[in-house]
């Protein structure tokens, strides 16, 4: 009689993008007992728009084609990327087919969460407030979590792998690794979701520049426009958006010696008319951390890293994280490797290499956006974007970092 393989207990904290994908993937894997804890109710979603980069759609098509198709059907395609000055002069007009195998997706965050959480139905426990977590007293490699759900306290012990997908201010990461050092990037970001009243001026993904001040906008399903922007920020400014009213916004985005173009003009007017509804946040980045060195704890998405908004890589890298981790665990189990410690080592090596490359692409792309680049610089920037959007590496057990993509280059 073949001995029964012990069940691995896995707990995922957070059912956002990465957590929901992991919950669905691991719940379908034999030999795993999977619990996903989410602090909000099932229909409690953030109201914002986002773009998902082609690389994430590619990775998801490999791991879970049905889920990738469901996301595409719920959003609009991202096929084009244009960058202009606020005066209207076009600096970049790039069909994504030049640098990607296919396009990305424009989607409401609430819609994306609904699709992902619905696909993981039965695995996610909602309204779970994390109270405590830490290393197991009997085995420091394993862990425990304590949470409150509907007024009742619950606890799980002897967790073989704890997956933190609980956001930028991750309580799991703070509990196991201490509060991460946060680097202030020096930018104040804004976000606003409005009805499409611009007579069709805004459609696919576009950006506008006025010196260091940037605007970004794209159309979403159901007649909505997502507007985002950035302004330079001194790292020591403790109250960054105080005092930024309609007059300051208009001055920031209006060219000095020209009138704004029709699109930028509409965006400026819309921001100024909706100042009280703007969501402001500081751009900051904690140090990258994908795994604890001793405890069997994995970090995904914003709990592991933060991404700059351009290039569609915020949600994209969370999706890549989850697809990579799910692929690694599945192939490891199939090959007889049941040690979470081994999974973590392979995952961390592969994701660190990929993420460092992704972060290096932004300076290349900046040259394209600002104009005045030489032909050699443009060719280098387009090659970097092509590698970003096409060469998606999903690590497998026993395969070195960066290899075994499972996808055509």
Question: What CATH number is given for 183-284 in this structure?
Answer: 3.30.9.30
- Amino acid 369: pLDDT: 64
Contact 307, 358 (CB under 8 A): yes
pLDDT of residue 403: 36
Task: Report d(CA 48, CA 111) in Å as an integer.
Answer: 10
Residue 354 DSSP one-character state: H
Mean pLDDT, 10 residues at a time, the chain of 409 residues:
64 97 96 96 83 95 95 97 94 93 94 96 96 95 97 97 94 87 74 86 94 94 94 71 85 94 96 94 79 96 81 90 96 94 94 91 70 78 92 66 34
**220 CB burial (10 A radius; 0-12, 13-18, 19+):** buried
Please tell me the distance from the alpha carbon of residue 237 to that of residue 291, in angstroms, as a whole number.
Answer: 32
Kindly report the pTM of this predicted structure.
0.91
| CA dihedral for 142, 148, 150, 151, sign (positive or negative) | positive
Predicted confidence at residue 21, as pLDDT, reads 98
Report how far residue 182's alpha carbon sits from residue 281's, in angstroms, rounded to the nearest whole number.
Answer: 14
| Paired tokens of 263 | 């699109």
Query: Are the C-beta atoms of 289 and 282 separated by less than 8 Å?
Result: no
Instruction: Identify the helix (H) or strand (E) that includes residue 176.
Output: helix 171-177
Domain ranges, ordered by start, for the chain:
8-180+287-390, 183-284
> Comparing 8-180+287-390 with 183-284, is the CATH topology the same?
no
CATH architecture of 8-180+287-390: 3-Layer(bba) Sandwich (3.50)
Spatial distance between the Cα atoms of 29 and 109, rounded to a whole number of angstroms: 27
The C-alpha atoms of residue 53 and residue 312 are separated, in whole angstroms, by 5
The dihedral built from the CA positions of residue 76, 80, 86 and 88, taken in this order, carries a sign that is negative
β-strand 152-159 against 161-164: which pairing, if any? unpaired
Q: What share of the chain is helix, strand, coil (3-state, %, to 5)?
A: 35, 30, 35
User: How does strand 32-37 pair with strand 8-13?
Assistant: parallel
């Amino acid at each position: 009689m073949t001995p029964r393989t012990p069940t691995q207990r896995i707990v995922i904290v957070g059912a956002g993008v990465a957590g929901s994908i992991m919950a669905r993937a691991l719940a379908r894997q034999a030999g795993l007992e999977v619990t996903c804890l989410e602090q909000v109710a099932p229909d409690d979603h953030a109201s914002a728009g986002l773009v998902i980069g082609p690389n994430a759609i590619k990775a998801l098509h490999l791991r879970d084609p049905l889920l990738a198709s469901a996301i595409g059907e719920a959003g609009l395609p991202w096929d084009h990327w244009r960058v202009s000055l606020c005066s209207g002069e076009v600096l970049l007009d790039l069909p994504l087919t030049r640098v990607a195998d296919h396009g990305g997706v424009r989607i409401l965050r609430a819609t994306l969460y609904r699709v992902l959480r619905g696909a993981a139905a039965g695995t996610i426990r909602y309204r779970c407030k994390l109270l405590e977590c830490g290393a197991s007293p009997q085995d420091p490699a394993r862990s425990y979590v304590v949470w409150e759900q509907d007024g009742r306290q619950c606890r799980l012990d002897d967790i073989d792998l704890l997956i933190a997908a609980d956001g930028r201010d991750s309580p799991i990461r703070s509990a196991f690794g201490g509060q991460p050092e946060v680097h202030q990037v020096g930018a104040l970001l804004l976000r606003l979701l409005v009805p499409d009243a611009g007579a069709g001026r805004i459609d696919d993904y576009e950006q506008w520049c006025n010196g260091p001040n940037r605007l970004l906008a794209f159309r979403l399903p159901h007649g909505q426009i997502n507007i985002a922007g950035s302004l330079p920020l001194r790292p020591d400014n403790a109250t960054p958006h105080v005092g930024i009213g309609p007059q300051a916004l208009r001055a920031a985005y209006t060219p000095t010696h020209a009138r704004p173009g029709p699109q930028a003009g509409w965006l400026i007017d819309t921001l100024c008319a909706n100042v009280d509804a703007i969501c402001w946040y500081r751009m900051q980045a904690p140090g990258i951390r994908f795994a604890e060195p001793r405890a069997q704890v994995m970090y995904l998405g914003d709990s592991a890293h933060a991404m700059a908004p351009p290039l569609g890589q915020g949600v994209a890298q969370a999706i890549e994280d989850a697809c990579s981790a799910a692929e690694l665990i599945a192939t490891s189990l199939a090959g007889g490797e049941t040690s979470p410690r081994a999974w973590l080592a392979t995952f961390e090596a592969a994701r660190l290499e990929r993420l460092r490359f992704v972060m290096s692409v932004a300076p290349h792309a900046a040259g394209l956006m600002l104009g005045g680049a030489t032909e050699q610089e443009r060719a280098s920037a387009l090659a970097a974007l092509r590698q970003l959007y096409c060469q998606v590496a999903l690590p497998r057990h026993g395969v070195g970092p960066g290899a075994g993509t499972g996808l055509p280059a």
